[in-house]
Structures are given as C-alpha cells and as structure tokens.
A = this chain, B = another copy of it.
C-alpha cells in the first residue's frame, strides 16, 4: 500500500520482476479489493500470488513511534512479520522509510555481531555499479559500526555485483592516514589489521564515488545520505540542462536525432530506477525499501535485488564473515596478549 503511486505500481512492478525472474512467488498485504483488481491485469502474477487483506496502513507522515503501534495489523507490519515467521524470504516496501526501519528492527532484531542495521544502495560509477552504505539509518556511527558496515557491504557486493573480492573504502575528506574524524581513522586501523574476505583500500574522497574508486563505499548515515542525494541532485540538474538544450530549437531537436541512441544509452546508465532499492542489512531477515516515487520498473529492480539476496543466502554469508572475523580478531588479541 506504500509509495506515491500505490498498489497499481506495486502490482505492475511485481509482474515485471516475475517476467525477469520466474522463480519469484508473492504474498501481498493490503486492501484485497484493490490488489485483486490490479492482479486481473496480470494472470501470470496472479497465479503465484497470495493476498492477505488488511485495512490498516502506515502513512507517509507517520512517525516511527506511531507506526510501531500498527506493527501487528498494518500492511507494512504484516509483511515484516511474514519474513520473521519464514512465510516470506524477503519483504519489499515503497512505504515510509523511518517506519519500515523501526518495525524491521523491532520485529527482526539485529544479527549477532551487528550493533546497528544499515541501509545500502546501488549507484552508477564509471567502472560500472558500486554500492554505498549507510544511506541514513544511523546518523552517528562509531568505528565498530563502520567496520561492521564494511563487512556487510562487501558481502552484499559479492552477492549482487558478483565480485569475488570487492574493493572497500571509507569515505573521508582526504586519503592520508591522518585525515578525518576519530571514527573513520580508527575504523581504518581496525580493518587494516584484519584478515578480510575483501580488499580494504583505505580512504576514498567524495569524487571517488562516481569515479568507481572502490566497489563498496562506507560512511556514516549522515554523510552517506547527503552525498548520495547531492549526487542524485546534480545528475537531475544536468539532465534538465540537456533537456533545455534539446528543446531550444528545431536544429537542436534534429541534432539530438543523430545522437539519440547514445543519449538513450547514457540515460539507461544513469536511470535511477535501475538503482532503486535501499536494502536493510544487519537484521535477522531481509527487507528492501523501494523509493516512494519509484515506478513499476524501479519497484521491479528492488524485487529482483531482493530475490538475488535470497538465492545467495546473503544473511548466512554475512553471518559467516562476521563469525570468521570475530574469531580472527579474538585470536589476534590472544596472540597480542600471549
């Protein structure tokens, strides 16, 4: 029931995701009449979908605390419950982010070895696709949070970007060891001392994101959120400037015909729908937040990312890495002591 476009977008998105990944099965929570009406347009989807009716919904302006009171019976709450109770493998929602995170934390709890869940997302880079976390779940982060984000982010990149040894960097104001605040400096020192299943390259500056300096960009939720949104903003700004150029005369319209294919490729490369889906990492269950303004193609991307995580059993992947690194860190301490 979430998102600016409501159930019709969600159902269309599910149909599109199913056409790309026929193994998907759906459980939909919300107004049964509305959902069933939308489903009649997609018989293939309808055949693999169960609808659970509820009248209660979390609205876009509900505070997390208000939303929590509707955990038991709202469409959002029921979707997360279905993950907790193993009826579903992953929940995908286009609803209120704060409410979704609060309910997910409350119902799924954080994994052993993780203090705080983080939100991770995909982004276009000149080397292909990168991932960044945290995108806003944690406003202030200490060194251990950042180390845990690095481990979870690398596991996510392995799964979703199919990288054997992802490159991981900490966002900072400079690449020298002495730069930045205490959290990033200490996190870097800890990561350098660990026997990691990924390549920790150290600090990366803001312009390294689009340049694809690494595969996994790690930051506190304040920095990550502002940096990602600033990048989205400038990309949208340039797109609107290009539209102005196109529209300025008959000649420019003719000119753009010659470059139409290239511009389409460029637009595809930067299409926000391709990078839709903020994944909650660090919980005992998978939850994906679709952008509220996503269209069906964007919602389908979020579902397809969700299905890939399920197929690769990403939570086990993270748990395994954490356990191994926990053991390594302990034995390193033992060595240091003995």
Residues of A within 8 A of B (CB): 63, 124-126, 136, 139-140, 171-173, 178, 180-181, 205-211, 219, 221-223, 225-238, 240-242, 244-246, 248, 251-252, 254-259, 262-263, 265-266, 269-270
Contacts and interface: CB of A to CB of B under 8 A. Distances in A.
Nearest to A98: B174
Nearest to A255: B258
Contacts of A246: 259, 262
A270 B238 contact: yes
Given A206-B228, A252-B259, 16 more contacts: A136-B173, A139-B180, A205-B225, A206-B233, A207-B232, A207-B236, A210-B230, A210-B233, A211-B236, A227-B227, A234-B234, A238-B238, A238-B270, A244-B266, A245-B265, A258-B258
B231 A231 contact: yes
A233 B258 contact: no
A225 B234 CA distance: 15
Contacts of A126: 237, 240
Contact of A266 (B124, B208, B242, B255): B242
A296 to B, nearest CB: 23
A18 to B, nearest CB: 32
B173 A226 contact: yes
A181 B262 contact: no
Closest 6 CB pairs of A and B: A255-B258, A206-B229, A245-B262, A207-B233, A210-B233, A206-B230
A237 B210 contact: yes
Contacts of A251: 258-259
A106 B230 CA distance: 34
A295 to B, nearest CB: 18
A137 to B, nearest CB: 10
A226 B210 CA distance: 12
Given A210-B234, A210-B236, A230-B209, A180 B259 contact: no
A105 to B, nearest CB: 17
A207 to B, nearest CB: 3
25 contacts: A63-B178, A124-B237, A139-B180, A139-B181, A205-B226, A206-B231, A207-B229, A208-B233, A210-B230, A210-B234, A211-B237, A222-B223, A223-B223, A227-B227, A231-B233, A231-B234, A234-B235, A245-B262, A246-B259, A252-B259, A252-B262, A254-B258, A255-B255, A255-B259, A256-B258
A263 B226 CA distance: 29
A248 B63 CA distance: 50
Contacts of A248: 262
Contacts of A254: 258
B225 A226 contact: no
A264 to B, nearest CB: 10
A248 B252 CA distance: 18
A212 B240 CA distance: 13
Nearest to A260: B255
Contacts of A225: 173, 205-206
Contacts of A240: 126
Nearest to A132: B230
